[in-house]
Amino acid sequence: MELNRKNITKYGLLVVLILVLLIYPTWVYQVFLNLLGVMMPLILGAILAYVLNLICVKLEKHFFPNTKWHWLQKSRRGIVILIALLIVILVISGVFRLVLPQFISALTSFFKSIPAFFNDVANFAQKINSHSIIPEQVKSIDVNWNSVQSKVMKFLTSGLGGVFGSTIKIVTGVAKGLFNFILALTFAVYILATKEKLGSQIDRASRAFIKEKHLQKIKYVLHVTNQMFSSFIVGQVTEAIILGTLCTLGMFIFRFPYALSVGAFVGITSLVPILGAWMGGAVGFLLIAVDSPLNAVLFIVFIIVLQQLESNLVYPRVVGTSIGLPGIWVLAAITIGGGLSGIVGMLLGVPVVATIYQLMKNKVNQRLDSQVTDVELEN
């Protein structure tokens, strides 16, 4: 009787949940979005903790693992977390220190050259209007190029004024983003500092509410998922270093300016699969275009060729090898993930497909081994 009551309650709640989803889908979706927005700093903190933990694990293997000093044993975890954070901060700040000053200088020079550019265009257009051999109907059209130039400049300045005029909104957004970042970083450090204790608590709660056979399957799936995601991150970082190095060497060979800065920025942005290198290439184009428009065009050709080599040769081999996923599935995962969820889909597509691939591979091998064993027993 007790079992029947539990089943009735369980299935009754399931029916109610399905009815709510069917009757109020918009309301449920809005509640989900609000909940996701509130939890986003914690989610980002957990992701940051997972990435930093890969560095911390490597550091802990070499940072006095067998020390007998009690004070070092207690402070070892905190020191390792601090070193991991410093490594990430130094790498990011080093790249931006290489790129940002030149980018600001190029951007300033670009905006300073806009009035002279429009003057040249206006003078050239007036010469064509007065001296070129064109139909009389077109020549009879009187175009006031000075007026056109003034209107274009007014549009640009008013547009910039509108962007910079919303100071309160910008400051509020920056303050909110900074607060969320500090909260996520604090949460990540707390997870790293107490990961053994948190793991023990989750394990005890799981054993209390989940059957042992189901718990073993969940642990197995999580183990494979962790292997794939950690290998993907390591492979992605390796691929970014390779691409940044190739870009720098190529720019030195073809005598493009800002080779070290652009190469470092292309490397750091290529952490975003496929699309990241184009972002770095756009910054490189702007930097080079201020010095030489011709070199900027040639740089675009160079980055297109490099991107094709990276997408079809380097990325599938480096990242695919690190996670045990064939190159064709890497490209398929990036294509489908990007089509479904943009950059986030590109980031998650490869490790998700790699996890499914590995789980299916293990299951197929298990079934085939079982069939072979059955045949041997029959014989």
State the alpha helices, DSSP H only, in the chain.
2-23, 25-62, 70-131, 136-139, 145-165, 167-193, 195-209, 212-253, 259-269, 275-291, 293-309, 315-323, 327-378
Instruction: Round the average pLDDT of the chain to a whole number and report it.
Output: 77
**Mean per-residue pLDDT, 329-354:** 79
pLDDT band at 51 (very low <50, low <70, confident <90, very high): confident
Q: Which of the given ranges, 63-77, 160-174, 288-302, has the highest pLDDT on average?
A: 288-302
> What was the pLDDT predicted at 96?
75
- Asked whether residue 156 carries a pLDDT value surpassing 60, the answer given is no
Q: Hey, is 1 helix, strand or coil?
A: coil
- Asked whether residue 261 carries a pLDDT value surpassing 50, the answer given is yes
> What was the pLDDT predicted at 147?
64
Structure tokens at 83: 């070193």
Q: How far apart are CA 63 and CA 69, in angstroms?
A: 13
- Asked whether residue 128 carries a pLDDT value surpassing 80, the answer given is no
Query: Is pLDDT larger for residue 157 or for residue 327?
Result: 327
The residues, ordered by sequence, that sit 6+ positions from 343 with a Cβ below 8 Å of its Cβ are 272, 275
**Mean per-residue pLDDT, 74-85:** 86
- For the full predicted model, state whether its pTM sits above 0.85: no
- Asked whether residue 49 carries a pLDDT value surpassing 50, the answer given is yes
Q: Which of the given ranges, 9-18, 19-28, 292-301, 321-330, has the highest pLDDT on average?
A: 292-301
- Asked whether residue 138 carries a pLDDT value surpassing 60, the answer given is no
The residues, ordered by sequence, that sit 6+ positions from 264 with a Cβ below 8 Å of its Cβ are 94, 95, 98, 99, 244, 248
pLDDT above 70 covers a percentage of the chain that reads 74
pLDDT band at 104 (very low <50, low <70, confident <90, very high): confident
Q: Chain-centre distance of CA 198, in angstroms?
A: 27
